[in-house]
Structure 1
Amino acid sequence: MKNFIYKVNRKKFETVNTIITGKEILENANLLPVEDYELLIKVNEKGFEPVQLNEEIDLKGAGIEGFFAKPYKKLIIYVDDEPVEVDECFMTPNEILTAAGKNANGFYLKQIRGHKEVSYKNDREHKIAIKNGLKFSSCKLEPTTVS
C-alpha cells in the first residue's frame, strides 16, 4: 500500500488515502481544534489558495503537496507561567524561548503535559505543534567545563 506524503509548514506527514480533506490535513498535523486554523495550499511559486475544511485534495498530483497553516488569531502559550502570544503553528524550542524573551543559548525548554515533562534539551530543532494553552518551562543550561 502506497503512502502519500505532504507537508504542512515544511513538516512532513503521510496518509494512505489518495483523497484527503482540509480537516484531515489539520487533524494529522495535530492542529486542533481545526476551526482555529486557516489552511492554504501552495499553487505556484507566487502564492497560496485557501482550502476549506470539507474540501477534498487529491494527493496523486506531482510532487509533495505543500500546505501552510496559520492560526486565525494569536495563540497564547505559557513559558514559566507567563503568557506568550505567538502566531505560528509549529515552533522549535529555541523559537519558543526567544518568543518568551529568553536567550536560547543559555536555556533549554521543557513542555509540561499534566504530570509529565518532555525535555527538548537535546532536540532543539524539534517542531512542536502549537495550540492555545500549551505550558513550557525554561531550564538554565549548566556551563560546560573543559578539563
Structure 2
Amino acid sequence: MSTNAYSYGIHRGISAGELFFYIAVDKTREELGLDDLAAAAAILLGQNDVPVGGKLAGAVAGTSVVSMAARKFLPFRVAVRLPTIVKAGAGGLRIAMTRSLGAFVGRTIPVVGTVMLGADAFLIMRNTLFTYNRMVKPEDRIL
C-alpha cells in the first residue's frame, strides 16, 4: 500500500484504504432504498419458522408465512410440475417439484428477494470500485 493521501467529502488526508471504505459507505447509502426493504421482507417472510404437523419423514420442517398466504390465496393446481427450492445452505440445494401454484409462489418469493439483494451487493461493489479507481493514483488502483 502506498503512502498517498486523499480527500473525500469532509475527510482529509486519508489513506487509500480509508478512501475505499468511505466510498463504499456512500455507494451503499445511495443504492439502498425501498426495493431493498422489499427484498429483505421477502427473505424474512420466506423462512420456515412456522411449525406444522403431518409432514412426511425427510420433509423440511416447518413452513413460511408467505407460503401459507400464497397457498390460501392461490389454491390452484397447474398441469405441469414446477421446480421449487425447499432448502438451501451449506449442505447444498434441495429441489422439490409441485403442481400447486400457491406452493410455487410461496417458495419462489424468498429466492427473488435473495437475488435482489445479491444484485444490489454487486452494484454497490462495482460502483465503489469504479469511483475509487477513478479518484486514486495508478499505484493505488484495484483490479
Which TM-score band (shorter chain)? under 0.3
Structure in which a larger fraction of residues adopt strand: 1
Q: TM-score, normalised by structure 1?
A: 0.22
Structure in which a larger fraction of residues adopt helix: 2
Higher relative contact order (CA 8 A, sep 6+): 2
